[in-house]
Structure 1
């Protein structure tokens, strides 16, 4: 015992090193591109999300798939009544917020394009159907629950308040409209969702970060293409003055004025409902046809191929390039299936990260405010799978496994199959199904008795079936 005490006294519990996070005060400087720093970077990611059709389709697919996941609360011990009551309490809190769980999830999912999302935890004492929003609830048990989990928008960030010793996150300071007054939300009263954690960076990393470069070039290529199409339709205007008129004479004010007028004329030629030209006598106007154009390689680059290449790279960065399969009349079903499986795995990992934040921070804090519950461990928030299994493959697998006796049909297996196939729960079939199931034979017994004549059904089972169907004589 003395040796143990002496050994423990020599342990150094201090933290010596540092994560190396680049910051100036509360401003993070990990991003090497200046245009992606702070609020400016949030505006760029917002433009990518809201203004690009490919990225918009990717984000829509991600959001819809993640929102279709079914969330539930699992007790720490299914056999403990106290743990079951604790799980039911957490589920009641999720269903008792002023905003729906789906709306809350939509706000949380903004951590994907921005890299992070910060949500303040607003509590309430559940006081039944009253007017006071701080007490209004479906329940009148006096317990403390979640009133709402509102987002503190990424574009309102002023600075992070970090611990000077270990660099830990202490709070977020924001300047939100309409009054732009500084507000500090401590981390103990908030939930921080991040796509990843590197050097303890509270801003995570946007899933669109690697798509920025192809998006940047694609946007400019589309602008160039638009200008080229417009010029191709209007033609290249060439305005020729009369022979003896020297419009390049900078010493003659009249010639300088004519030169500026001619330049404005050729620059403003457009093909629209207001098109038309008024030129002085002796001047000649010619429209030269431009070579090449959108989707053409004559005399220039094929802009369609370039734009398609950038769009494919943008989708590849988030494993979502399967949305482009078929648009170019290429891609097999097997390739699409493998790509969607990878995409589904990525989405499942993001859902796991959301559940982990709730299980590590939100739920323990909730039970600390409600000492009524005496549990050894806290319930866990979990989600269902977002992918539906191939029922043909599942059926063949179960058939093969039951045929060799590895699986034996039972209530749990049947419940799993019903859930996988989105079938309704089993009805109470009464004593008929209970007696019929008692007569089911093990698959190994069936294989040894295949040549035997089947026995007639038990008269008691027949009578139970008639009573269930209301045909009792």
Structure 2
């Protein structure tokens, strides 16, 4: 059997030559190019504007990237620079450009294809660099004709209308164009507008709005009527005079009139039943929303429909959004990216593709989600997964100047410090070290490490934050007690699980935690800089990345404490449900419990989390300074601040490390030994062993 090598059939036989004609469109006003002006009117309708923005804004805020899988790096980089798109798997963006293509601006214009069904762009390439120099808009209103091949249906080009008669209308060939055609059928490259199905409801709605406006102007205030009194027979002149008085009647603070003798004035309103025009307009709005899979716009505004259906409606609409986004990505890949690669390297070169993710969704960073990412080890996974998590969850980029810990290797077997016989017996079973440590004689840190100053700063910060929390937690206690009491008023516990806390009640608490952590981190950085001054002079100013890291951690700690408040409030409310307690009794009981929870203590929900936050802030500030020290320095561990030293901490005390990376393997945040049985309560730390006679090096 011989394979076919040519086409003998055709896509359409209704065209005039190569001109595109939609023979199945039965409304003359919607035939191209007349449809351009009709859709331009429709897009101004308030409901249709909301629909277009509902699609467009969701697609514009999605993550558009360039997938260079299987392509050479230089090919992917050229396309990325040309389109202004980030490369998938890389955190670094393309940066702003004075000239060339802006992807955000191009996407905004490309999404106008949802209005008219099509939208064209003309490409131009910089001959010196081979990059895309321009993607110039060619709006539908400028297109006189669209040409397509009858047999294959491929686009041949477009003709433009120019108002300047001195120039000939240009014929733009298809290989110069990026032509977005929405839901194209055959040779109908004019596409199908997102608004096409709403044309009927929109047309009728426009007339109904006019009718409603006229009716309100005509009948809203009633009609003045001059009525002759019974038993009178007014002359034509008297009737004319009464007509003039009635016509001149106006409302106002000082308004009034005098009727001719024998007449009285009445204000007659509309009587009888009339069609409910506004209800009909609402029905037409619902039809327009349903035509684009957006019935959720009307949830809660009509007599029927439940908000419980919102998720099902949103799911189907999200699928429509994804289909629109993938069509945009496919068009720009085939008509622009592939040609750009072909012009530079030939048609045998693999080309990257434009991809889109996160359409219609947004991952909220909460304390619970952040805790799950940390505890699962996702943030310490391979670099590609870590970069993907940062992009998907909108997490801050890592500090490029911050020294990262080395990957963990197999635990090193380190001889234990002299201890109890029981500890010596367990040494072979427990190997807490993570780096190449060597035990040295137990000794206090050298004099340049001001341990007392470190402890005093930590103690003062924790005390200040717990005291400030007690003073500023009143709005949180009041709001949470009222919300829980109201949710429990019905006697059923189901409403307690969805208790919401207003942001205004937690904002001051977040601010005090962030300020306390930043202040301690700055003190820690200054102390560390003074500690290593004989090796290198390092500025102790916190970098913007370090500050952002601390603020993110402060938000997580605040959310954890607030979540504990919510749990405590719900627990108290549950204890009163079976006792027929009133709303006031439940509120008072919850208020008393939360007020006691807020009281400054040495331990507990508030003090425990704030102590952990202080240790983390102290370690982050110290880490920024120590990471700038040169290689070749020996490091040592100290558990002198750990008041409840466990077995693993006693064995790691005074251990030396050959490099900063080895030390970080055991102390990932400079503070807190990773194998401490006390977990987050550990206050061990590492310090550089500074040789005598060290000369300072200017930084």
TM-score normalized with structure 2 length: 0.50
Cα distance change on mapping 1:119 and 1:415 into 2, 3 Å: closer
d(CA) in 2 for partners of 1:12, 1:375: 21
Shift of 1:105: 1.3
Structure 1 partner of 2:351: 378
Written as runs of structure 1 = structure 2, the 5 A alignment for 1:157-196 is: 157-163=143-149, 168-177=154-163, 182-196=169-183
Question: Residues 148-227 of structure 1: matches in 2 within 5 Å?
Answer: 148-163=134-149, 168-177=154-163, 182-227=169-214
SS in 2 for 1:369: helix
Which residue in the other structure is 2:26 paired with? 32
Which of 379, 384, 388 is the aligned partner of 2:362?
Answer: 388
Per-residue deviation, 1:92: 0.8
SS at match of 2:688: coil
Looking at structure 1, the residues matched to 133 and 66 of structure 2 have their Cα atoms a distance apart, in angstroms, of: 18
Deviation at 1:33, TM superposition (A): 0.8
For residue 433 of structure 2, the aligned residue among 458, 462, 465 is 458
Query: How many residues are treated as equivalent by the alignment?
Result: 409
TM alignment of 1:265-414, pairs within 5 A: 286-291=266-271, 299-328=273-302, 334-371=308-345, 376-386=349-359, 387-389=361-363, 410-411=381-382, 412-414=384-386
Partner of 1:120: 122
Q: Which residue of 2 aligns with 1:295?
A: none
Residues 408 and 92 from structure 1, CA distance in 2 versus in 1: closer, same or farther, beyond 3 angstroms?
closer
Q: Offset at 1:38? A: 2.5
Shift, 1:115, TM fit: 0.7
Q: Is it true that 1:94 corresponds to 2:310 in the alignment?
A: no
Runs of 5+ unmatched residues, structure 2: 85-96, 412-425, 438-636, 638-656, 658-662, 671-685, 690-699
CA separation in 2, counterparts of 1:100 and 1:223? Answer: 42
Alignment correspondent of 1:77: 70
TM-score, normalised relative to structure 1: 0.71
1:375 is displaced (CA, Å) by: 6.0
- Rounded to whole Å, the distance in 2 between the matches of 1:148 and 1:104 is 10
Which one of the candidate residues 33, 36, 39 is aligned to 1:45? Answer: 39
Partner residue in 2 for 1:228: 215
Measured against aligned partners, the alpha-carbon deviations of 1:134-190 in whole angstroms (never above 9, x if no partner) come to: xxxxxxxx2222222122121222222344665543221121446595232111211
Q: Distance in 2 between matches of 1:34 and 1:279?
A: 56
SS at match of 2:344: coil
Question: Any conservation in 2 of the 1:21–1:199 contact (CA below 8 Å)?
Answer: no
The alignment partner of 2:12 has SS state of coil
- How far apart in 2 are the matches of 1:143 and 1:270? 75
Following TM superposition, by how much is the alpha carbon of 1:271 offset from its aligned partner in structure 2, in angstroms?
Answer: 7.2
In 2: Cα distance, 1:278 partner to 1:32 partner: 60
Match of 1:424 in 2: 396
Change (3 A) 1:108 1:243: farther
* Larger relative contact order, structure 1 or 2 (CA cutoff 8 Å, min sep 6): 1
Name the CA distance, whole Å, in 2 between partners of 1:321 and 1:472: 64
Q: Deviations over 1:288-317 (max 9, x none)?
A: 1114xxxxxx71233332222111111111
State the shift of 1:65 in Å. Answer: 1.3
Per the alignment, do residues 180 and 338 of structure 1 end up closer, same or farther by CA in structure 2, a change over 3 Å counting? farther
CA contact (8 A) 2:300 2:307 kept: no
User: Any stretches of 5+ residues in structure 1 without a counterpart?
Assistant: 1-6, 126-141, 248-254, 292-297, 440-451
Measure, in 1, the Cα distance between the counterparts of 2:404 and 2:120. Answer: 54
Matches within 5 A, 1:235-250: 235-238=222-225
Pairing 1:103–2:110 present: no
Equivalent residues of 1:21, 1:200 under 8 A apart:
no
1:56 aligns with 2:49: yes
SS in 2 for 1:377: coil
| Rg larger for | 2
Change (3 A) 1:369 1:270: farther
After TM superposition, give the deviation of residue 14 of structure 1 in Å.
3.5
Change beyond 3 A, Cα 1:37–1:456: same
Name the CA distance, whole Å, in 1 between partners of 2:124 and 2:258: 68
- State whether residues 15 and 166 of structure 1, in contact with CA within 8 Å, keep that contact through their aligned partners in structure 2: no
1:120–1:318 Cα change, 3 Å: same
